[in-house]
Amino acid sequence: MSVEIGLGFREATIDDLPELIALFANDAVGGHGDTTDASALPDYERAFAAISDSPNNRLLVGVINREVVATAQITFITSLTGRGRKRMAIEAVQTRADMRGQGIGAQLINYCLQIGRDHDVSLVQLTSSNQRPDAHRFYERLGFEKSHAGFKLSLKAAPAST
């Protein structure tokens, strides 16, 4: 099943923050400590402001009937490698649990890719947790290839999940 009628994409606004927080807090695999607890709201507001203020970041939402049903963040990266080519990273991709399997995620990724083309990006990269084999198949169906190993090192513990 594919959702097309009524699905639109736009940049997130501060008014979307409660729905975005709920999307991330509902992600059992993420393990990022996301929570809808009101005490965490200032952290999310600071992060939203930093993303919004950065010319190299865009926080996108997929919307149906004014409800946020999906999100992704894109970051433009200029590197000296590749003779200064511009890259784009796609992060924090989420589709609301009750809306999965309807083609929303694919349309969101394609929207991100079009933004990349519009900004003369030569390479798009993303990471996905090893615990998400379904997501890996999804990205491969969209043309992404597993080409590198990813590594992480936590420098500061994330806030405890509530």
CB atoms within 10 A of CB 3: 16
- Mean pLDDT highest for which of 32-36, 80-84, 106-110, 133-137? 106-110
- What the block records as the tokens of 65 is 């009937």
Q: Does residue 28 belong to any structural domain of this protein?
A: yes
Q: Does residue 155 belong to any structural domain of this protein?
A: no
Average pLDDT for residues 139-154, to the nearest whole number? Answer: 89
Nearest 5°: the CA angle 52, 124, 97 is 65
Q: For residue 95, report the phi and psi dihedrals to the nearest 5 degrees.
A: -120, 135
pLDDT higher for 2 or 75? Answer: 75
Q: Does residue 112 belong to any structural domain of this protein?
A: yes
For 52, the domain range is 7-141
Q: Inform me whether the pLDDT recorded for 160 exceeds 60.
A: no
How many domains is the chain built from?
1
Q: Does residue 137 belong to any structural domain of this protein?
A: yes
In single-letter form, the type of residue at position 62 comes to G
In angstroms, the CA 86 to CA 107 distance is 23
pLDDT band at 151 (very low <50, low <70, confident <90, very high): confident
- b/e code 23-42 from CB counts within 10 Å (16+ = b): bbbeeeebeeebbeeeebee
Q: Does residue 23 belong to any structural domain of this protein?
A: yes
Q: Does residue 136 belong to any structural domain of this protein?
A: yes
In angstroms, the CA 87 to CA 77 distance is 5
pLDDT given for residue 4 in this prediction: 57
pLDDT given for residue 1 in this prediction: 45
CB atoms within 10 A of CB 89: 17
| Extended strands (E) in the chain | 7-11, 57-64, 67-78, 86-95, 123-126
What predicted TM-score, i.e. pTM, was given to this entire model? Answer: 0.88
In angstroms, the CA 4 to CA 49 distance is 31
Mean pLDDT, rounded, of the chain: 91
Assign residue 50 the CATH number of its domain: 3.40.630.30
- Mean pLDDT highest for which of 30-39, 77-86, 110-119? 110-119
CB atoms within 10 A of CB 118: 8
User: pLDDT (tens digit, 9 = 90+) per residue, 35-80?
Assistant: 989 999 999 999 999 999 999 999 999 999 999 999 999 999 998 9
In angstroms, the CA 141 to CA 162 distance is 35
Q: Does residue 116 belong to any structural domain of this protein?
A: yes
